[in-house]
A and B are shown apart, each in its own frame.
Chain A
Amino acid sequence: MDAIILQILNGLDKGSAYALIALGLTLIFGTLGVVNFAHGALFMIGAFCAVTLSRILSLSHQVIDETRTDFLGNPLKVDVPYIYGWFGEATGQAIIDWSVPLSLLFAIPVMILIGVAMERGLIKHFYKRPHADQILVTFGLAIVLQEIIKYYYGANPIPTPAPEAFTGSFDFGAAIGMEANQIIYPYWRLVYFAFAAVIIGAVFAFLQFTTFGMVVRAGMADRETVGLLGINIDRRFTIMFGIAAAVAGLAGVMYTPINSPNYHMGMDFLVLSFVVVVVGGMGSLPGAVLAGFLLGILESFASMKEVIDLIPGINQIIIYLVAIIILLTRPRGLMGRKGVMED
């Protein structure tokens, strides 16, 4: 029993990342009808927003510390972040420590801006072109973004730790009244899951309960009619693209403590997220979320030692295998709507 709970928990953090990226992909596909291969790159850019902010916060100048000397007997020069001077040492330290959550505030405007620029600058011109062209041009864009990041940040992963308060693990088993020390789970992963749940909830609430969301949903169902009613649906869809980019970016920001960001993390997640979207059903938002968590948890079950002993290598291929089976038996995916991408 505890093994099962542990695997479900393990699957949650990866599943959350899949679900968030797939949600953004589906938002873009459902509104604009564009297959965005650059979405993984947006996830990666989000992660590098966190890296950038933590670097900016740690910018420092050298101060001569009179009380200490180096091994030559000269006064020791100490790097002091500028931020200490502004907020005092204790607050400054706390701010640097909390750089990853703080990056969320930084990443939202950046990602929305990037998303809107991408839609207006490039993708707008591809609405009427075949899906293959959309795939290809966004694929090219993904390569370009990835290489730019690689040029400025290098090819190596950059460790970006979580705040001190969230490092370490806690005993989940004891918390739910089971035997102690059986289910140990890192704090940050739980934070990530909670964060993903909040974001997903927010996106759904936004679409469901605001006028803006209502118009967007109407546009998804019948773009032409909404346009005929005198609503500028294009502008709203552009904003939705920005929101989808922000969702991917925030997923990336919060993922940095789990996996040190590197320039190809976006591509790694993109392939799987596409599989998730297809399994969930093209254009179905709940489907994308459901499939994201489902595949994340399935993947973690497949990595159990007992399962690997039974079917060697299953942990590597389970997601693809599930995708193949689903596509062949339920061509529309788990929750796909009729008439979306039928050809």
Chain B
Amino acid sequence: MFGLEKKDTSLLIIVAILTMLAPFILNPFPADSAMAQFNAGYPDLMQRFVIFGIFAIGFNILFGLTGYLSFGHAAFLGVGSYSAVWMFKLLSMNVIPAIILAVITSGLFALLIGFISLRRSGIYFSILTLAFAQMSFALAYSVLTPITGGETGLQLALDDPRILGAAQTATGNIPVPGLFGLEMRETAQLVLGGWEFTFNVGYYFSAIIMLASFYLAIRIFRSPFGMMLRAIKSNQQRLNYTGLNARPYALAAFVVSGMYAGLAGGLMAAMDPLAGAERMFWTASGEVVLMTILGGAGTLIGPVLGAGMIKYMENIISKINSDILHGWFAFMPDGLEDFVVTIIYPFIGKGWHLTLGIIFMLVVIFLPGGLVEGGQRIGRLFRRKKKDEKSDKSSQSTPAE
């Protein structure tokens, strides 16, 4: 289906079902139960899942396939956000032109930066992209204030010269981004017994775009172009000896992944029409690297998993406080309870970055292939057991992905 192999089609369908049913799946606990804090089914968080999913999918096209580790990808996200907000300010509150412009500008920006950075590889490439991103951040923060809003960020105002559509709503408010009259923030609630499910227009809009970009990523992974990118990763020298110039392919991958980042930035602005320079800061670039590695670089589903996991932890772990911990361990004797809470306390709440850092280190040390490799290892363990039971004659195992 859609020109995909059977395995990829089923993967795409599974992802599609999961994203479409996310409001149900992410809300497994009744709204008034003690576990309700682990629910992730509210619009803001779900939007972030899919948007950062797009960002990580795009980053994976560059890092996972070609092996070029860019430490400045957030710059494209920021550029996308800025251009989308400008589109809202100048043209219309419809999200389609905003996102298109975001993709185009970030693509052009990526073309420029990639053209220069890809002259070098390895650690030099990482430093070059980092330098460019930090430069963009510094400029957006200071000199380019008329375009970027500087420290306060770029926001909509009541007197924006919008060509299509009014500058203000009838009630004198700033209009909200929408899709042909359908507002992005519109939500519907479904109450089923103790459960509350929220369906948000913005989420479904982003989810559909995420599915489209996921589909595109699968096509890129399976195409001859994708093979070429893998060749760059495994042995660029040999590629050169066969008479092929690797740089145009790497540049194309860089631009595509920059456009993905711009798309994510545009969507972010569409969900909440403001853009700030901190989106371009190098820690933001580091975050997408973490997502991709955590999920599994070079795999299709890995980056999405990683993005979801990091954003979920960011929201849920940082919400836990010491009272909640005391509640959990109340069954223990008092002294032990205090002890356990003191041990866990640094890892929760404000300390969630510590948890993230430790998990990330563990993944890099023990599971270089990320969560996907972990899953495969567990899967293989079970398969081997079955094989032993059947005492299969063929000892040949099919390499998994």
Contacts and interface: CB of A to CB of B under 8 A. Distances in A.
Contacts of B127: 274-275, 278, 323, 327
What does DSSP make chain A's interface, helix, strand, loop or mixed? Answer: helix
B198 interface: no
Interface in B110-157: 116, 119-124, 126-128, 130-132, 134-135, 138-139, 141-144
A137 B356 CA distance: 12
Interface string A310-343: 0011001100110110011001000000000101
Contacts of A271: 130, 134, 282
B364 A133 contact: yes
Contact of A313 (B116, B142, B283, B358): B142
B124 A312 contact: no
B204 to A, nearest CB: 34
B131 A140 contact: no
B135 A327 contact: no
Given A125-B365, A147-B357, A312-B143, A136 B351 contact: no
B122 A320 contact: no
A135 B286 contact: no
A317 B136 CA distance: 9
B182 interface: no
Majority DSSP secondary structure for residues of B touching A: helix
B43 to A, nearest CB: 29
Interface size range of chain B in the complex: 35 or more
Interface in A31-84: 35
Contact of B368 (A133, A141, A313, A341): A133
A86 interface: no
A143 interface: yes
B121 A343 contact: yes
Contact of B119 (A35, A151, A317, A328): A328
A343 to B, nearest CB: 6
Contacts of B364: 133, 136-137, 140
Nearest to A130: B67
Interface in A244-289: 267, 271, 274-275, 278, 282
B139 A316 contact: yes
Contacts of B139: 313, 316-317
A148 interface: yes
B42 interface: no
Interface of B: 67, 69, 116, 119-124, 126-128, 130-132, 134-135, 138-139, 141-144, 236, 282-283, 286, 289, 293, 346, 351, 353-354, 356-358, 360-361, 364-365, 368
Interface of A: 35, 122, 125, 129, 131-133, 135-137, 139-144, 146-148, 150-151, 267, 271, 274-275, 278, 282, 312-313, 316-317, 320-321, 323-324, 327-328, 331, 341, 343
17 contacts: A122-B365, A135-B126, A139-B286, A140-B360, A143-B356, A143-B360, A147-B354, A148-B346, A150-B351, A278-B123, A312-B143, A316-B138, A317-B134, A324-B132, A327-B128, A328-B119, A328-B120
Given A143-B356, A316-B135, 16 more contacts: A142-B357, A143-B360, A147-B353, A147-B357, A151-B354, A274-B127, A282-B123, A313-B142, A313-B143, A316-B143, A321-B135, A324-B116, A324-B131, A331-B120, A341-B123, A343-B236
